[in-house]
Amino acid sequence: MMARSPRRDLLAGLTVAIVALPLALGFGVSSGLGAEAGLATAVVAGALAALFGGSNLQVSGPTGAMTVVLVPIVARYGPGGVLTVGLMAGVLLIGLALLRAGQYMRYVPAPVVEGFTLGIACVIGLQQIPNALGVDKPEGEKVLLVAWRAFVEFVASPNWTAIGLSLGVAAVMLAGARWRPTVPFSIVAVVTATVIAQLFHLDAAAPIGALPAGLPAPSLAFLDVSAFGSLLAPAVAVAALAALESLLSATVADGMTVGQQHDPDKELFGQGIANLAAPLFGGVPATAAIARTAVNVRTGASSRLAALTHAAVLAVIVFAAAPLVSKIPLAALAGVLLATAIRMVEVGSLRAMAKATRSDAVVLVLTAAATLVLDLVYAVIIGLVVAGALALKAVASQVRMEEVDFRPNLPGEHGDEEHALLAEHIVAYRLDGPLFFAAAHRFLLELSEVADVKVVILRMARVTTLDATGALVLKDAVEKLNRRGIAVMTSGIRPDQRQALDAVGALDLLRLEGREYGATPEAIVGARKYLEQEGLLPRTHHRPHRIRKAAR
């Protein structure tokens, strides 16, 4: 575990604050609640998530992914609706923490995360088109339609000043990140763009506008209890996104350090507290920010002091530098977010994921497309469903029913003639793999087509999973074979499989006929006795032989 150094933490917090300032302003503007909402979120949520969260290195605030979700909520329910959604999402996150749901986030497949990130990057970039082109944001919820309308308006009346500033800021950030990754070029580019706009009186570069010199007093004036029902679905979406992004960010932070390990449930609790408080000060819903967390780790942070310092520095800026911040051109912030969107796309990871398997490529593309066309929660759900279906198909293909030679397991000595008679009337199958709902029906078809024999021995010891569907299918297969005059013997049923078999009555069926055995040799003895009773084998009076228990 890295040694704690308050001085390094303070320096890391200052660096993160410099990186976070233009992002907080930009995401506040993009969300539709204004730059002041982004700053309030960065200060309030950033401090509370650092205090109560489950990661020592996490930095929280407004993020691009959350902005993508908030834009349609603002369009439909207004600013008050967004603040209410944030409050409700905070309660839901605390509920998830109390239910200890954090551990389940690790089951989200990598192609879903990569596709989700790619889709978010595309949406963030498209959201910046109006400000980057210097036109008023057109009406509409669908980001593709809004971006197209903004482009049409720009063509009719071009604003070259705005597009020049936004592309210039983006270019400086992207080039600077390659040249000197440790330098916060976002603030350098924004300051330069602001100075140019002021020196040359570029009226076409619309500024952020007046900002309050400080945080507003906490208030619940926005709360409309009657709207809770209609806002529940957006609140669930916001909570799900906050949980997913925050735990993903915490995992990334753990991977960048030695000895750090986050507590997922505590992290959900901290994000819940942060989202409960931020709306009281006019802030938008918050999540952990992967990019800011990465900057925090790379600049030497070792404790929560760094994230708290980041929030404190932003608070000082809110109180002391609001008049200066208000002069930043909106086009410059659009350039910051355009560069951020581009840097979110990890081409190497996408290429590797696409090449891994065809299933991974399908999940990635579907998740990204759904993020762009629908919304983030639907995208994750679609990605998880498709990934789950493809995984089930792959697992189901592993179940095998293989005919095996039972004669090596015959107890005692037998002549060639008896061997031939037994082989004529008995067939043994070894079942391998998971016998569950996704594979059971194929097994039923295969077993029902068994050739004309008198006894079928099913060796069950290698069945790894057996659910209710598998148990029902096994029972149906036994009944069908019995109706054809074929007796079914089983061996090697494990204790953990008995509950499912008992529940559907499969074990009762086998016990009734006395055809469940612990080991394969016992089942063979039982099969031989059955054939003797049916008059298909001559009765023998040799001494009983000890049964070999090892064969299952």
Helix, strand, coil distribution of the chain in percent, nearest 5: 65, 5, 25
Provide the pLDDT confidence category of residue 538 given band limits of 50, 70 and 90.
Answer: low
pLDDT at 11: 86
Tens of pLDDT, residues 10-21: 888 888 888 888
Quick one: what percent of the chain has pLDDT higher than 90? 24
Question: In 219-367, at which residue ranges do the beta strands (DSSP E only) sit?
Answer: 287-288
Q: Mapping DSSP to helix (H, G, I), strand (E, B) and coil, where does residue 207 land? A: strand
Average the pLDDT over 89-118 and give the result. Answer: 85
Is pLDDT at 151 greater than 70 in this prediction? yes
Average the pLDDT over 412-440 and give the result. Answer: 70
pLDDT at 418: 56
Read off the tokens for 389. Answer: 């279906």
pLDDT at 114: 82
pLDDT at 29: 87
pLDDT at 409: 55
Read off the tokens for 68. Answer: 């993508």
Tens of pLDDT, residues 258-281: 677 889 999 999 999 999 999 999
Average model confidence (pLDDT) for the chain? 83
Is pLDDT at 440 greater than 70 in this prediction? no
Residue matched to tokens 């918050």: 286
Exposure string over 267-297, b if 16+ CB within 10 A, otherwise e:
bbbbbbbbbbbbbbbbbbbbbbbbbbbbbbb
Strands 426-435 and 400-404, sheet pairing = antiparallel
Q: How far is CA 225 from CA 87, 275, 276, 488, in A?
A: 12, 18, 15, 64
pLDDT at 12: 85
108/150: higher pLDDT: 150
pLDDT at 550: 45
pLDDT at 514: 64
Is pLDDT at 552 greater than 60 in this prediction? no
Is pLDDT at 171 greater than 90 in this prediction? yes
Question: Distance between terminal CA atoms of the chain?
Answer: 49
Tens of pLDDT, residues 314-359: 999 888 888 888 888 889 888 888 888 888 788 888 888 878 788 8
The length of the chain in residues reads 552
Q: How far is CA 546 from CA 409, 413, 539, in A?
A: 12, 12, 19
Provide the pLDDT confidence category of residue 530 given band limits of 50, 70 and 90.
Answer: confident
When mean pLDDT is compared over 67-81, 408-422, 446-460, the highest value belongs to 67-81
Quick one: what percent of the chain has pLDDT higher than 70? 88
Provide the pLDDT confidence category of residue 540 given band limits of 50, 70 and 90.
Answer: low
d(C-alpha 71, C-alpha 428), whole Å: 63
Q: How far is CA 203 from the centre of its chain?
A: 44
When mean pLDDT is compared over 108-122, 150-164, 225-239, 267-281, the highest value belongs to 267-281
Tens of pLDDT, residues 387-401: 878 877 777 677 777
pLDDT at 145: 87
Is pLDDT at 297 greater than 80 in this prediction? yes
Count CB-CB contacts under 10 A for residue 496: 9
